[in-house]
A and B are shown apart, each in its own frame.
Chain A
């Protein structure tokens, strides 16, 4: 079974807008990959249909079936991570390899306070 993992530097999972996110992607795959890439994206969760925005993609050239690469991503200025009763916006990193359906994922927080913005109604 394939393994794909993302480790952020120092295990940090909360970041400020515009900050540089550094980390390591590692994988052990059942078959040699044709492509391995890391994606920074946001998604919504909640009552309505899901939206997704891929903001940056880092391709790892010449990736072997068992490999480990460092990465740096400049985080955007927004949107911030937030939650209300009807919708949450969640930032995440995803490591994908092709062929195959396996992926590694790590949710992160992007906010000027370093914490998810919680809309008042969801806090009650």
Chain B
């Protein structure tokens, strides 16, 4: 199958938005309010932290908030000058500062971000482990969530691609991104 026809291509997978397994936006926003706008979205790889953070950014903007979204990749142990500017601007303008992958930062860089980001109108980060900020939300996945995601992308369940959903889900330890990448390969090998 051609890459552009693959239903599991990255652009299509990234278009799938966050699904709450329990609770919903009002619960999350209520908790964020209770935490005075500061908290961490915590969860393992491929559990939807980035997607939830992006969706939170969209929601806050729709509600009239100004948002600065800073994305860090694994291996980025300090903020670039551009990212640092975004942090300082958020602090100055009282925008909400959202930082994806905050646990990539070295301790010293995190302390600087914590100090500078603390002045923003809101401060939400994603991390793999608890402890950077009070936990706002824990992301997790389930075989049912995986099945629904595949259904949304293809109109069919994971079984249509040759493996039982539970099997595929568990073989990737619940990492939906990796499970979907495996299905990309299954489709790529199909000659249609």
- Interface residues of chain A, those whose CB is within 8 Å of chain B, are 45-50, 83-88, 90, 118, 122, 124
Q: Are B4 and A47 in contact (CB under 8 A)?
A: no
Judged by a CB distance under 8 angstroms, whether B63 is at the interface is no
A50 neighbours in B (Cβ, 8 Å): 10-11
Nearest CB of chain A from residue B45's CB, rounded to whole Å: 16
Which of A46, A49, A118 is packed against the most chain B CB atoms within 10 Å? A46
Give a binary string over B1-42; 1 marks a CB under 8 Å from any A CB, 0 the rest.
Answer: 111111001110000000000000000000000000000000
Interface hub of A48, A90, A118, A122 (most chain B Cβ within 10 A): A122
Q: Is the CB of B191 within 8 A of A46?
A: no
Question: Is A124 within 8 A of B6, CB to CB?
Answer: no
Chain A's nearest CB lies how many Å from the CB of B127?
Answer: 22
C-alpha spacing A87/B10, complex, angstroms: 10
Q: Is the CB–CB distance between B10 and A83 below 8 Å?
A: no
Give the A-binding residues of B (Cβ under 8 A): 1-6, 9-11, 181, 184-185, 188-189, 191
New A-B contacts (11) at CB < 8 Å, excluding given A46-B10, A83-B5, A86-B188: A45-B3, A45-B6, A45-B11, A47-B9, A49-B10, A83-B2, A83-B3, A85-B3, A88-B3, A118-B2, A124-B191
Please measure, in the bound complex, the distance between the C-alpha atom of A47 and the C-alpha atom of B181, giving whole angstroms: 7
Complex CA–CA separation, A2 to B184 (angstroms):
35
Q: How far is the CB of B178 from chain A (nearest CB, A)?
A: 12
Q: How far is the CA of A90 from the CA of B10 in the complex (A)?
A: 15
Are A47 and B10 in contact, CB atoms less than 8 angstroms apart?
yes
Of A45, A49, A124, which is within 8 A of B4 by CB?
A45
B-side contacts of A83, CB under 8 Å: 2-5
